[in-house]
Structure 1
């Protein structure tokens, strides 16, 4: 593990292998459904697809050959794919016309690098579609631990990317026509332990280096805080903020923004005429 890396790669592989035996896929399934909806608005056909961070599979596209890659050996084997890190070179340039990534970019060490590699793996005018959990996710759980560990807070939560930064990362990676948007998914839990179970099944628990053990007193306090935030039916709402990314590998056929200074009308003149017309 490099000194500048955010996440422990070996621990990430271990957690993904553990999750493979009790996989909880409702968040990723929601992401995949939304990615398919975005594909419905694209008129072209995709023949060679890369599922980057495949878990055990789940993303399918009729008529396409799908190559699946996951950091966990168990997930890769279950998907009939290969094991590999999303931010490390794996495929020759211009190998695919579609790359999808659902549910993993929030735990990748080098997100700009992973996006740049995805762009390089695409053929000209190839499409990248991504979805991951971004800023605001697990707001309730974060608040509970903040209250439980107010005197000596521990690093238990990953840094998160917001939707604006996600769009900037697409541009930085060299994608054309970048778009980022966010959707909030609300889930209600009977207890903090039900939420923990889902997070383990999603391989979404703490991957920071040298995680501090969770003591019984802290856990009990966090559980009380979680229960205190419950609705009248004794269920506590939690948020999953899903960020969606769309970007195209550059190609000469794509629309280009107008050259700076090429406008034939003045914006100031147009606004002045509008004001005069309303008087």
Structure 2
């Protein structure tokens, strides 16, 4: 029987999250929920039964104090057809089965319920990945998994359709955070609970030479005005549980009015 590859070591991930700094390490979580809140304000709908999938419930409970907040375990603790809004909150990148997570959220939605996900996209930490990869290649003649793989926006958007959601939309918000040194960035990643928890990671100490080389490369290749940038791409995915009331695309060729007539334009036939 085929099983989902265990890309993420969930035990290590839980340990890293338990050590996260709930005061200083949650700034990206808070930026994400501010953006989610802004997007929901544009939806002409009152949501009364809300579920949030998050490893940091104290952050997301600020939006919906009465929401059901559940951890992002492989099997989500959500009852079928029980919610009119499900938010998957900045943790899909740690899922061994991302589409399975979205399918479970879909099943938890009532008809015409809204699914919204915010996750890190493929441009996240591009500078750190490049510096670490070059340093390890030069110092150790090889590469090891160090940053969790994150999907590009097109691939992430396709997950909505695979999960059977209607009216899928995907967009991204890139942001750049600057740090004094790469060491300050790594300290922040630990405070976020976002350090390496990949199953295929090295199980022995890397050694200082790789990290010193990576820090030097980071500063020389990406440094700006005495600081180093770190890119974080937040990808937002939205989709609706299918319902008969939702608009549906028309069959090709079924239009009853010509486009030129609708626009009030003169139609000029092309020569053969």
Query: Shorter-normalised TM-score: what interval?
Result: 0.7 to 0.9
Contact 1:20-1:56 within 8 A present in 2 as well: no
Distance 1:265 1:55, change over 3 A: same
Name whichever of 218-227 and 115-124 sits farther off: 218-227
In structure 2, C-alpha distance between the alignment counterparts of 1:62 and 1:209, rounded to whole Å: 33
**1:99 maps to which of 59, 72, 86:** 86
**What is the root-mean-square deviation in Å for CA atoms of aligned residues?**
2.6
Name whichever of 20-29 and 252-261 sits farther off: 20-29
Deviation at residue 262 of structure 1 after TM alignment: 2.1
Per-residue CA deviations over 1:15-60 (Å, capped at 9, x if unaligned) read: 1112156661111111111111111111211111111014142234
1:47 match: 48
1:197 match: 187
Name whichever of 49-58 and 60-69 sits farther off: 60-69
Give the structure, 1 or 2, with the largest relative contact order (CA under 8 Å, sep 6 or more): 2
Distance 1:63 1:106, change over 3 A: closer
Residue 65 of structure 1 aligns to a residue whose secondary structure is coil
Query: What is the number of residues matched between the two proteins?
Result: 261
**1:239 maps to which of 203, 217, 231:** 231
1:88 match: 75
Residue 173 of structure 2 aligns to a residue whose secondary structure is strand
In structure 2, C-alpha distance between the alignment counterparts of 1:61 and 1:221, rounded to whole Å: 41
Distance 1:259 1:276, change over 3 A: closer
Contact 1:49-1:66 within 8 A present in 2 as well: yes
**1:215 maps to which of 207, 224, 241:** 207
Q: TM-score, normalised by structure 2?
A: 0.87
1:172 aligns with 2:172: no
Q: TM-score, normalised by structure 1?
A: 0.85
In structure 2, C-alpha distance between the alignment counterparts of 1:125 and 1:45, rounded to whole Å: 12
2:153 match: 163
Per-residue CA deviations over 1:195-218 (Å, capped at 9, x if unaligned) read: 111111222111211421321110
In structure 1, C-alpha distance between the alignment counterparts of 2:209 and 2:63, rounded to whole Å: 52
In structure 2, C-alpha distance between the alignment counterparts of 1:120 and 1:128, rounded to whole Å: 10
Deviation at residue 267 of structure 1 after TM alignment: 7.8
In structure 2, C-alpha distance between the alignment counterparts of 1:53 and 1:63, rounded to whole Å: 13
Contact 1:140-1:239 within 8 A present in 2 as well: yes
1:28 match: 29
In structure 1, C-alpha distance between the alignment counterparts of 2:260 and 2:44, rounded to whole Å: 39
Structure 2 residues without counterparts, runs of 5 or longer: none
Structure 1 residues without counterparts, runs of 5 or longer: 72-84
In structure 1, C-alpha distance between the alignment counterparts of 2:80 and 2:260, rounded to whole Å: 46
1:251 match: 243
